[in-house]
């Protein structure tokens, strides 16, 4: 036992804890000390509380960063990338004659003016695009949908869903050609996919073609190929299809079919397009014609897809489409789910179905 009035010496750790409590008690804790930063002298319960708070704070900050990227940074970068591509394209472009329709800037409302037959304008910047991305295939223009983009192709249909033209991550992606569609020789059907973005970019404007007036005024889709050749297509079908068989009595109409083994298969496919179209244009389609199909998502129901399909202008054929001959289809064939949602009877139950040719 020590002398009377003396106590055993305290350990350094205990003394440090006591001093920390005394120092902390001398002043009021700020927000971070009270809620975020573990301090000496905190009880186990207090440390657990701060750990939970820190985790919640981390989630809030991460969510804010993601929100800023989605709503501000990614759209801003997508716009900058697109403008850079347009500058590259226009640097060596043939000067437009005064009467030509100017390129519609990103986000601008498409002016509704009558379409007239005009000389082809060929842009000579394909080499630059190929040098920048070897996956570049052609430039796509669809004025009625405010679509004016380079189209790429990869070995699958996933890569460019979330990659821009420079192969950098972007939820805008880049319009891309179905990996099964060939360009040399050209497949019967060139299928091109693009996102339906809320800010009206990429393929969002494809929805415009559900209006008869838009098809009547802008009936032509144009491809500009490397080397200067141009292909033009007359729109003849605008339709929606389901991506899940359960939404149309167990059937999916495979619009995205690139090739057909014979006339019977091709003609059955065309009958489906003509039966399902919102607008009848009077454009005839025959076995041996080349097609183009632009696809994007729409959201009347889950996994709904909108297609705009055109037939290539034949050699010597005028690109004019008589606006008076473009009529709204009073009864387009729709997926069963759309009739069900409207409480309407499906008049096409039991009608002819078409399936893609087996490989």
pLDDT of residue 30: 62
> What is the helix (H) or strand (E) element at residue 220, kind and residue range?
strand 220-224
CA-to-CA separations, 68 to 76, 148, 290, in angstroms, rounded: 11, 27, 44
| Burial (CB count <10 Å: 0-12, 13-18, 19+), residue 134 | exposed
Q: pLDDT higher for 102 or 32?
A: 32
pLDDT of residue 270: 98
Contact 260, 188 (CB under 8 A): yes
**What average pLDDT does range 284-306 have in this prediction?**
97
As a residue count, the chain comes to 359
- DSSP code, position 247: G
Nearest to 86 by CA among 165, 157, 196: 165
- Determine the Cα–Cα distance for residues 145 and 221; give it in Å rounded to an integer: 10
Share of the chain above pLDDT 90, in %: 62
Q: What is the pLDDT of residues 159-201, one digit of tens each?
A: 999 999 999 999 999 999 999 999 999 999 999 999 999 999 9
- Any bridge partners for residue 176, and if so which? 152, 193
| Burial (CB count <10 Å: 0-12, 13-18, 19+), residue 226 | middle
Task: Let me know if domain 120-342 sits in CATH 3.40.50.740.
Answer: no
- Determine the Cα–Cα distance for residues 5 and 193; give it in Å rounded to an integer: 88
Number of C-alpha atoms within 13 angstroms, CB side, residue 241?
25
pLDDT for residue 82 is more than 70: yes
Angle at 295 between CA 144 and CA 152, to 5 degrees: 95
Q: What is the pLDDT of residues 115-134, one digit of tens each?
A: 444 434 445 578 889 999 99
pLDDT for residue 100 is more than 50: no
Buried/exposed code over 310-343 (b: 16+ C-beta within 10 A; e: otherwise): bbbbeeeeebebeeeebeebeebbbbbbbbeeee
Provide the token pair at 217.
């005024």
**What average pLDDT does range 310-336 have in this prediction?**
96
**What average pLDDT does range 333-339 have in this prediction?**
98
- Name the pairing type of β-strands 136-142 and 220-224: antiparallel
Work out the mean pLDDT of the chain and round it to a whole number: 83
């Amino acid at each position: 036992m020590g002398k009377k009035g003396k106590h055993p010496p305290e350990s350094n750790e205990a003394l440090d804890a006591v001093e920390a409590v005394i120092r902390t008690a001398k002043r009021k804790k700020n927000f971070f000390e009270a809620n975020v930063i573990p301090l000496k002298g905190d009880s186990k319960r207090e440390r657990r509380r701060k750990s939970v708070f820190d985790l919640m704070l981390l989630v809030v900050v991460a969510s804010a960063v993601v929100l800023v990227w989605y709503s501000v940074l990614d759209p801003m970068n997508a716009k900058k990338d697109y403008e850079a591509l347009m500058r590259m394209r226009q640097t060596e472009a043939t000067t437009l004659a005064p009467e030509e329709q100017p390129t519609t800037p990103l986000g601008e409302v498409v002016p509704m003016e009558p379409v007239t037959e005009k000389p082809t304008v060929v842009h000579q910047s394909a080499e630059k695009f190929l040098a920048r991305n070897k996956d570049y295939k052609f430039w796509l223009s669809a004025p009625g949908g405010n679509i004016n983009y380079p189209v790429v192709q990869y070995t699958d249909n996933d890569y460019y869903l979330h990659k821009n033209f420079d192969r950098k991550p972007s939820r805008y992606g880049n319009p891309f050609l179905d990996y099964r569609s060939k360009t040399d020789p050209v497949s019967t059907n060139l299928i091109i996919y693009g996102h339906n973005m809320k800010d009206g970019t990429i393929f969002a404007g494809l929805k415009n073609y559900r209006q008869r007036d838009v098809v009547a005024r802008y009936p032509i889709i144009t491809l500009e190929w490397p080397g200067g050749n141009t292909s033009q297509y007359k729109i003849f079908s605008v339709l929606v299809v389901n991506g899940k068989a359960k939404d149309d009595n167990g059937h999916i109409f495979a619009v995205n079919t690139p090739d057909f083994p014979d006339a019977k298969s091709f003609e059955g496919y065309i009958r489906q397009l003509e039966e399902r179209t919102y607008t009848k244009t009077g454009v005839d389609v025959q076995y041996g014609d080349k097609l183009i199909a632009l696809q994007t998502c729409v959201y009347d129901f889950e996994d709904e897809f909108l297609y705009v399909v055109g037939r290539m202008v034949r050699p010597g054929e005028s690109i004019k489409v008589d606006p008076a001959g473009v009529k709204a289809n009073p009864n387009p064939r729709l997926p069963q789910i759309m009739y069900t949602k409207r409480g309407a009877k499906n008049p096409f139950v039991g009608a002819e179905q078409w399936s893609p040719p087996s490989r």
